[in-house]
Amino acid sequence: MSDRLSATFRQLRETNTKAFVAYIAAGDPDFDKSLEIMQTLADLGSDIIELGLPFSDPLADGIVNQLAAERALKSGMTTTRALDLIRRFRETHQTPLVLFTYLNPVFTYGFEKFHHDAAAAGADGILLLDLPPDEAARNTDLAIGAGLKHIRLIAPTTPPERVRLLARSSEGFIYALSRTGVTGAHGAPSANIAELVASIKAHTDVPVCVGFGISTPEQAAMVAAVADGVIVGSAIVKQVELNPQHPAAAVRSFAAPLIAAVKAPLPEV
């Protein structure tokens, strides 16, 4: 199996550019339009796409992503259909895909079987929002997860020892939260992002990407200056909500300037 995530970050380092990571909900507003949005983001230059698996109780998500999950579920999206969506995307694109989900749908599917089937479909990584790595290690049913790189989430309030544990157990990249709270474009990224990134990098060479509250090119550029990548989620999902008939076109118009800001040459110090 090719390691698309490592290859992507290696290429970014060689060209001294940062990653743009885009989040959308699988199946929002429906299967075909969701596929078109994924293809559009890849064609625009997104380096990684985070694909949220719709779940009926997304406790870490803000209202924008909750509504996206609801729309996807109503359109008939299931975990199995999400894997079909990945297979369709892989027919035309090799952009790395990271699954953003909760333990419940994965455990229901079968933890080991899900990892195998998702990797076979073309997924590259997984971020399990409510499964801490130390808890997984205590449960044999959750310890076997080969095939997908396990992305870790680190918040500004994470204690230093916990940062060390998460950083050292992370694969692919680390998702660093720019601020506390649930997902959403409300609020701006914290001014202490550079310190957070530095505290994580003290324990690992794994790339650190920052998300939460990034919705403008200016914010994206600010984060790109101190992190290995910029994650934009709710602000993109909002475009789908506002433009249900032509969501891919709306996403293209919105995301293009953010991607350009992330990819702009960094000012010399």
Instruction: Output 123 or 130, whichever has higher pLDDT.
Output: 123
How many helices (H) and strands (E) are present in the chain, helices listed first? 13, 9
Give yes or no for a contact between 200 and 167, defined as CB atoms under 8 angstroms apart: yes
166-218, pLDDT tens digit by residue?
A: 999 999 999 999 875 545 545 556 678 999 999 999 999 999 999 998 999 99
Alpha-carbon distance of 10 to 13, in angstroms, equals 5
Residue among 184, 188, 210, 187 at smallest CA distance from 197: 210
Q: Assess whether 50 carries a catalytic annotation.
A: yes
Domains of the chain (ranges; CATH) run 20-263 (3.20.20.70)
- Give burial (CB, 10 Å; 0-12/13-18/19+) of 3: middle
* 268 has pLDDT over 70: no
Banded model confidence at residue 56, pLDDT cuts 50, 70, 90: confident
Amino acid symbol at 227: A
Task: Give the start-end residues of each E strand in 131-266.
Answer: 149-150, 152-154, 174-177, 208-211, 229-232
Amino acid symbol at 107: F
Q: Considering the candidates 28, 50, 124, 228, report the single residue annotated as catalytic.
A: 50
Q: Considering the candidates 47, 61, 124, 228, report the single residue annotated as catalytic.
A: 61
CB atoms within 10 A of CB 44: 16
